[in-house]
Structure 1
Amino acid sequence: MIPELPDLPVRAVLDTLTGALTASGGAVLVAPPGTGKTTVVPLALAADTPGRIVVAEPRRLAARAAATRMAALLGEPVGRTVGYAVRGERRVSSGTRIEVVTSGLLVRRVQADPELPGVAAVLLDECHERHLDADLLLALLLDVRAGLRDDLRLLATSATVAGDRLAALLGGVPVVTAHARVHPVAVEHLPPARGERVEAHVARAVRRGLAEHEGDVLAFLPGAGEIGRAAALLADLPGVDVLPLHGRLPAARQDAALAPGPRRRVVLATAVAESSLTVPGVRIVVDSGLARVPRVDHRRGLPGLATVRVSAAVADQRAGRAGREAPGVVYRCWPEHEHGTLPAAPEPEIRTADLARLALELACWSTPDGAGLSWWDPPPPGPLAAARELLRALGAVDARGAVTHRGRRMADLGLHPRLARALLDGAAAVGSRPAAEVVALLDAAGPASSSDVDTELRRLRSAGDAAGQRWRAESRRLAGLVTGGPDAPDPARVVALAHPERLARRRAPGSPVYLMAGGTAAELPPGSGLGDAEWLAVAEATRDPGRPHAMIRLAARADAELAADAARPLLAEADEVSWAGGDVRARRVRRLGAIVLAERPLPNPEPGRVRATLLDGLRREGPGLLRWTADAERLRQRLAFLHERLGPPWPAVTDTALLDRAADWLEPELSAATRRADLVRIDAGVALRRLLPWPEAARLDELAPDRIAVPTGSRIRVDYGGAEPALAVRLQETFGWRETPRIAGGRVPVVLHLLSPAGRPAAVTADLASFWHTGYPRVRAELRGRYPKHSWPEDPLTAEPVRGARR
């Protein structure tokens, strides 16, 4: 079974590996890319193990390539000893011993028959990539082995040093390491020019690599769109074949990128080429430093793909591709000083991706919350709860979280639960073929060429490109999975069945901004053919940094009748009392989610709701809505001073504190109020006195007096508005005053602002006795010539205080 091969590093550990599997029932193989772990190890297991070997790959492209490589090593066609199965395609026979499948497909097989009859061992390849399906598959297989198949052998492979964690998950199995001969790879950093797009940057690095080094080029870009634009920029390279490599390509074009050619080649690839695949002849790697990964905005409900910086581990893996067969070079398209800021490892998808499919699989496994399973990283509780709520809305699970018959049917379709619902219910509403066409479009990776669903469907029906061929094949496959009535094409209805919360209504006549039922505002791109539509069924919307609204990427024309029918659970009519436009607004509203369909005034709103709304208005705009006289403001300042200096029982009177105790000081006026004008009439000073503590309130004027008598008999108002209580008084009125007045029970001296005869500050002191000895002589010398008609005695302590000029 094991063909004669070059001395690949993994061959040196095969005996150790098979021994570990026999003794422990499991093992972890740590081996860098290119060591043969994906192709040689399954062949060795098949030679040593009765029964079928199943190899789980994270991507369809990798599954096909691995099976093709192993079959070629045996000199056989795919489907004989080695076969593969991916969604919509399976090439196996009764004699197949090794079957390569995608992780998601194997999850469905385990769900259908957990005992996996005829399967002796499962090889989980590239576990370090931390794809969501792979993490779930590992958890399910561990559960199967613990309860049903203790003889099932599990082998996990990784290209990184995460072996210890994997070994612990597998029950403390051995870790086997294959050390590769590593050819040196020179690293050059090539930062982008100012404003340079990623595809232009990569194309520039490719040209430099071809000019300076021998061999083929493997360039990593984040997605198919960037690959297409980079290919156009490199189309004029003489004597060089420029080949794309990504998961959306037909099999023949993928195979062409993985096979050596007669001329130099530039392979423009997404992350699919990081591992599990060998691209022969590569001596030069150009790394954009970017990858496209699943992300979801849980607050806005906008799942999709995000472009992120790669981790240091991924950057090293990409660079290693240049040293597979000989010394090579990697051009990193970022400044050298930024390399140290890269995250150490990729973020596991389970922490960032939409968990609806995971939640459905867990419900089918009878563990809706995933409890009892052994996880590498458990699903985050918040996103998992949101996913379970979605499943309840779709009818996939019941109120207890148990999967329904409909839910199992949705899971069997192998689609996201939203798309499964759209296919099942859409087939009944518009026919199986029209429903399948729309669902195939919604499930397609990458951007559509038009933002109008109808326009895009018409293009795909006659398109001769790979995308059109792939869409037509997937449409036929999906149509064969469901039954439906006569065809009555209505793309908007199918889109709305998948995403009812994305039904959207224009915010204002002529505006490109729509409000979706889920509450998110979304904008049509300029030049969209949908600009005159009042209603849209939005299939795809993304939130770009720096934009005030989400951008609508794909949508279909809808109307109010369709919206009400397709999103019936979102329809509601309720009495609403809210603070809007600076006043109480009471109305009876009919809504589709966040979209107001109709409203009329509510003449007699429930008093408790009105009171709560007035409090909400006070919280939003502050207690300044009340009538604050000067006396009321001073009372508030005095209470704030006493609370700060003496503490309880003197109350806090900040905005927050006052609103927290609204019932203690704003009643009965608050319960009698019905609108803003009623709040404005409330005398805040009168209301505030209700917070005075008893019996301490009797000491208010003693502890924080509103006025203080000075030696002339004048009663001067104390200013409590600053950091310290202050008394502004003309200097001549304080003659004979030996000590600074103190308040708060003698704890706090009043800061005296001693004024000139013109009322301007002459001195500031909290120590009057010291001022008379040190400060007064200076002030006297400076001011008596300016104000000769006023008293300036040499001894102010024995002089008579006066209010005005000398007679």
Structure 2
Amino acid sequence: MLDLPDLPVRPVLDDLARALADHGTSVLVAPPGTGKTTLVPLALAERGLRVVVAEPRRLATRAAAARMAGLLGEEVGRRVGYSVRGERRRGPETVVEVVTSGLLVRRLQADPELPGVDVVVLDECHERHLDADLLLALLLDAREGLRPDLRVLATSATVAADRAAELLGDAPVLTAHARTHPVRTEHLPPLRGERIEACVARAVRTALSEQDGDVLAFLPGAGEIRRVSGLLADLSDVDVRPLHGRLAPGEQDAALREGARRRVVLATAVAESSLTVPGVRAVVDSGLARMSRVDTRRGLAGLVTVRVSAAVADQRAGRAGREGPGVVYRCWPEHEHSTLPAHPEPEIRTADLTRLALELACWGTPDGSALTWWDEPPAGPLAAGREVLRGLGALDGGVTPRGRRMAELGLHPRLARALLDGAEAVGDELAAEVVALLDDDTATTETDVLTALSRLRGDAPGSRRWRREVGRLRRAVPSRGGSSGDAALVVALAHPERLARRRSADSAEYLMASGTAVELPANSGLRGSEWLAVAVADRSPGSARGTIRLAAPADEDLARAAAPALLTRTDEIGWSDGDVRAVRVERLGAITLDQRPINDPDPAAVRRALLDGLHAEGLEPLSWNEESRRLRQRLGFLHAALGDPWPPTDDESLLQRADQWLEPELSRARRRADLRLSADVALRRLIPWSARLDDLAPDRIEVPSGSRIRVDYRGDQAVLPVKLQEVFGWTRVPHVADGRVPVVLHLLSPAGRPAAVTADLESFWRTGYPQVRAELRGRYPKHPWPEDPTTAPATRRTKPR
């Protein structure tokens, strides 16, 4: 029997073994530090089972194998081994192998029967990484068909195990309870204008002064860890240790090992649940994490910084209470804690699904519908991923041989394409170097790919890991010689839609082929480059532009060579800046490469452009004189009074029928100036009975004085403004619109000022006129003011002397 440590998981080991033997599946709920990652696989192996443990992260994979081998008193590679991409330590005696979830997916793809494996342990399945969700779906499918005897154990650090048990066929759920100590919570939010790194450094100093033991600080990424480490460089009696997945193995081991002095471990999310960090009595939580996100609209995909969930914050805090009473210092205001999301968003809902789409195609279910999922892949992002694969030549109905080759490389399909095609174009050495950098862009703080490569070829931090990956990639492709060619071409082969051209001279802003605007940081040595092949860009929430994090200088010839599928040549004929614009444009995606005027544009396209211009600017491009305005008013009046077939003449109605009443002009016109004809000529084409227009809506009406007065049709009435003396003798107002509408008389004084308004002369002469006469005859004594205007002669003159 193994002499296993007395950890909280020990009491459930026998029950767990029975559950797997009887049911074939099981779920183990056990918080970090209970021994579920190390004791469970060893206990199963002692019962004669060959065990594969799938971990979500490389660092956890190596650490778990080292811990188990240590319990056996052996070196890693004997009974306990591990495999990660590019590195493997196992032998003929190995009965427990720890692997990354992604690597186990590749093994399943190569042989779905998983020969030589009795149990698969899915560790930390609650973290919901994309590879882990896919692995679970593929294992369930393999169990249903080829390997019903394959036992699957899902372990979780949270109590949210119901869904996992349901997926595993109503699997038994066992629970191991951790022995924890009380953890006190303190909130130390950033001061005004303080960056999160400075806030974390301040909280670390507070923790060191107030607490015993080591301090574990959670930060979102390697960049923030570097900056906080710099802010703590003056701590002479404390070891400051970074801990993240991109470190060399020796540096990771140093962070996990207690020493003679106090430690401050600056860690990413890798230390939340997958690892045991001994000696910790205080936790500092930045409240931030790096999550995979895709912005398909802007063509940006990658890791973004987000607030942690309440569940993650609780997990982080729990690290302080493993060995005694502890304290967690949270770098956000206490009142904001209630606004945190309850649980982290599963990666399958937010990430770029191109790689998942390739794995599904290799499995034979491109849309994933034949699989059982924890959460089904969103249809839109999955379809977008398949579209990318078609563009890369990986899909053509089903997966192509090229697509299978891409999947075997263990890279994102974009990077696999860059490696395969880049090796052909620039040689396998340079292609492998650039792809290794792009796959691990945290290996450099440079924004220039060329500078980053130069430093990695030397002895920069992360260079050993980078060189190891370069060697793996070179072995994966046929040898094509040395590092001849342009690194920017390899970058562009991976991300052709991120080829970018400077907006203008002296500008740090670029337009990518995807249509997204990005800019270089202020201190970038790439400023001044006309073209860039952008490898990494991100966008802060609320920002209109993205920020370039890693790019290589390029030129137009390289852009054309790298992205021929994005090249388009189109004739663009439309309305722009107040006139017809007809140009022949060559573009690379959204980037204009060249444009020239078209001497003989398509008349139909010009006609559409002119109509668009009229809709955009109204009817102003036409020539509107007094006659055409009055004709429009008369037609509008008849439409209101009589309806069809008299047309409406408001702007919207005329614009809707512009292709009818402006047809001859539109057919001949080539630019705005060609429409400046007198509008009344065109409007008359709308008149159904031109002979009757003057009968129904006469332009002028003759009054008793003999004057022909122009009728005002601007409103919904026909109005005749006329001097009062000129209508003596009229007892009834004239009617228009076939006698249906009385003309409204605006009766004017001799000076032309309004005296009265009426459409009922008989009533006006009887009741209104006497008052008007009394008020005005003294003011205008030279004009006639008869007592009986119905019998008096009409006149436009004064009284005779």
Give the residue type in structure 2 aligned to 1:484: S
Give the residue type in structure 2 aligned to 1:180: A
Give the residue type in structure 2 aligned to 1:233: L
* 3-state SS in 2 of match to 1:3: coil
State which of 480, 489, 503 in structure 2 corresponds to 1:485.
Answer: 480
Q: Is the 8 A contact 2:55 2:122 kept in 1?
A: yes
Distance 1:143 1:634 in 2: 79
Distance 1:261 1:275 in 2: 22
Identify which range, 353-362 or 379-388, moves more after superposition.
379-388
Write out aligned runs for 1:552-571 (5 A). 552-571=548-567
Q: Is the 8 A contact 2:637 2:713 kept in 1?
A: no
Identify which range, 133-142 or 595-604, moves more after superposition.
595-604
State which of 296, 301, 305 in structure 2 corresponds to 1:303.
Answer: 301
Match of 2:454 in 1: 458
* 1:448 counterpart = 2:447: no
Q: Is the 8 A contact 2:710 2:720 kept in 1?
A: no
Distance 1:449 1:567 in 2: 27
Distance 2:682 2:168 in 1: 69
Match of 2:164 in 1: 166
Match of 1:740 in 2: none
Match of 2:350 in 1: 352
* 3-state SS in 2 of match to 1:446: helix
Identify which range, 601-610 or 327-336, moves more after superposition.
601-610
Give the residue type in structure 2 aligned to 1:479: R
Match of 1:17 in 2: 16
State which of 229, 232, 238 in structure 2 corresponds to 1:231.
Answer: 229
Shift of 1:611: 2.8
Shift of 1:655: 7.4
Write out aligned runs for 1:582-601 (5 A). 582-601=578-597
Size of the aligned set, in residue pairs, is 777
Identify which range, 366-375 or 239-248, moves more after superposition.
366-375
Larger Rg, first or second structure (1 or 2): 2
* 1:28 counterpart = 2:27: yes
Give the residue type in structure 2 aligned to 1:677: A
Question: 1:656–1:785: structure 2 CA closer, same or farther, 3 Å change rule?
Answer: closer
* 3-state SS in 2 of match to 1:249: coil
Distance 2:514 2:413 in 1: 18
Q: Is the 8 A contact 2:611 2:659 kept in 1?
A: no
Identify which range, 506-515 or 496-505, moves more after superposition.
506-515
Q: Is the 8 A contact 1:726 1:753 kept in 2?
A: no
- After superposition, what is the alpha-carbon deviation per residue over 1:588-628, rounded to whole angstroms, capped at 9, x for unaligned? 33333333333332222222322333344445555555556
Shift of 1:281: 1.5
Q: Is the 8 A contact 2:437 2:443 kept in 1?
A: no
* 1:4 counterpart = 2:14: no
* 3-state SS in 2 of match to 1:72: helix
Distance 2:134 2:112 in 1: 14
Match of 2:576 in 1: 580
Give the residue type in structure 2 aligned to 1:575: D
Shift of 1:241: 1.5
* 3-state SS in 2 of match to 1:20: helix
* 1:476 counterpart = 2:471: yes
State which of 144, 153, 161 in structure 1 corresponds to 2:142.
Answer: 144
Q: Is the 8 A contact 2:122 2:152 kept in 1?
A: yes
Shift of 1:244: 0.8
Distance 1:171 1:73 in 2: 33
Distance 1:305 1:108 in 2: 23
* 3-state SS in 1 of match to 2:36: coil
Match of 1:424 in 2: 420
State which of 504, 521, 524 in structure 1 corresponds to 2:520.
Answer: 524
Question: 1:588–1:79: structure 2 CA closer, same or farther, 3 Å change rule?
Answer: same
Shift of 1:355: 1.5
Match of 2:315 in 1: 317
Distance 2:645 2:152 in 1: 69
Q: Is the 8 A contact 2:429 2:483 kept in 1?
A: no
Give the residue type in structure 2 aligned to 1:174: P
Q: Is the 8 A contact 1:757 1:787 kept in 2?
A: no
Question: 1:754–1:68: structure 2 CA closer, same or farther, 3 Å change rule?
Answer: farther
Write out aligned runs for 1:99-498 (5 A). 99-398=97-396, 400=397, 402-446=398-442, 448-465=444-461, 467-490=462-485, 491-498=487-494
Give the residue type in structure 2 aligned to 1:483: P
Query: Between the two proteins, what is the percent identity of the paired residues?
Result: 66
* 1:499 counterpart = 2:498: no
* 3-state SS in 2 of match to 1:480: helix
- After superposition, what is the alpha-carbon deviation per residue over 1:488-524, rounded to whole angstroms, capped at 9, x for unaligned? 5221222222222233333434433333333333333
Shift of 1:284: 1.1
Distance 1:212 1:755 in 2: 96
Q: Is the 8 A contact 1:705 1:718 kept in 2?
A: no
Question: 1:25–1:581: structure 2 CA closer, same or farther, 3 Å change rule?
Answer: same
Distance 1:41 1:520 in 2: 49
Distance 2:322 2:24 in 1: 32
Shift of 1:16: 3.6
Identify which range, 308-317 or 230-239, moves more after superposition.
230-239
Identify which range, 389-398 or 564-573, moves more after superposition.
564-573
Identify which range, 605-614 or 419-428, moves more after superposition.
605-614
Question: 1:300–1:788: structure 2 CA closer, same or farther, 3 Å change rule?
Answer: farther
Match of 1:69 in 2: 67
Match of 2:730 in 1: none
* 1:508 counterpart = 2:508: no
TM-score by length of 2: 0.83
Distance 1:211 1:759 in 2: 95
Q: Which runs of 5+ in 1 are unaligned?
A: 734-742, 745-750, 791-797
Distance 2:641 2:43 in 1: 82
Q: Is the 8 A contact 1:356 1:388 kept in 2?
A: yes
Identify which range, 208-217 or 10-19, moves more after superposition.
10-19
Alpha-carbon RMSD? 4.7
Q: Is the 8 A contact 1:221 1:269 kept in 2?
A: yes
Give the residue type in structure 1 aligned to 2:494: A
Shift of 1:729: 10
Match of 1:55 in 2: 53
Give the residue type in structure 1 aligned to 2:676: R
Give the residue type in structure 2 aligned to 1:468: S
Shift of 1:218: 1.0
- After superposition, what is the alpha-carbon deviation per residue over 1:534-564, rounded to whole angstroms, capped at 9, x for unaligned? 3332222333456554333322232333322
